Amino acid sequence: MIWELASGPLDFAVRAHVMGILNATPDSFYDGGRYLGVEAAVASGLQMLEDGADIIDVGGESSRPPMYGEVVDVDVEEECRRVVPVIEQLRRRTSAPISIDTVKADVARRALDAGADIINDISALEDEQMAHVAAAAGVPVILMHRRGTPSTMQLNTHYEDLLGEVYAFLARRVARAREMGIDAIAVDPGLGFGKSIEGNLGLLRNLNRFTKLNCPLLLGASRKSFIWKTLGLTVEDSLEGSLALAVLGRAAGAHLLRVHDVEATCRALSMTDAVLSAELGGRGDKKC
């Protein structure tokens, strides 16, 4: 539960860690286009660190489902054009951990060369070369469950045993990663990726099951559609729902929270960890 990074250790046994989402894309479902341009993206990343983020997760290709608009495939060169300069500039200005959110081994390799410390692969090493890149660099990898691709993943959200199938998939991918020489691995059940609203809620209700994989557990629920649809709101009004899931996720054993709203989430998690680590002294009746 400790990752040794160039910037220092990340100890997941101590507290929850917050991963700030930095989408250098024009079409991400919540903040697409907001951080286009290296200067704007770097400023946003530095602000997230100021607000309490432990890791900045830089992505250059949207994984949004078709409900948000046309799904556009991005080639390696375009994805690198979006993310590599951002990572280079962030690395010059901070020693904080940076992850690269990509499913392409060539993008991951160039991002690591630019200064990234972690690979966040939502395809869980679908690109066979990704494991070689991670093992050669000795960097942690985050493996996520999804079914299909962003353009197809919501066409069929039926499972005979959703919890069992997601767990088994992640167990297989963790074993494969270890066989390939990757030691530091986190798992992500992939909320919103090929799951129904009820399926997402069910996975959250049973999130603690995934701690049995003996890897840090990442929860990525921030502002996803199943939140605001459940509440009858819009994505812009989904902050409170996202914070509720961050708190519930941490209480269920999540070690990493991937979020858009860093400052608010950090405050909610600090309170959560204070409660989780509290012990009653004496009879527990000391006055405030």
Active site residues: 224, 258
d(CA 284, CA 288): 11
Instruction: Round to the nearest angstrom and report the end-to-end CA distance of the chain.
Output: 35
Burial class (CB in 10 A: 0-12, 13-18, 19+), 36: middle
Give the CA distances from residue 53 to residues 1, 8, 139, 262, in Å, rounded to whole numbers and listed in that order. 19, 15, 20, 6
Edge-to-edge strands, sheet with 141-144: 185-188, 141-144, 118-121, 98-101, 55-59, 17-23, 256-259, 218-219
Burial class (CB in 10 A: 0-12, 13-18, 19+), 284: exposed
| CB contact set of 243 (below 8 Å; sequence gap of 6+) | 261, 264, 265, 268
d(CA 50, CA 6): 20
Measured at the alpha carbon of residue 201, what is the angle toward residues 171 and 19, in degrees to the nearest 5?
65
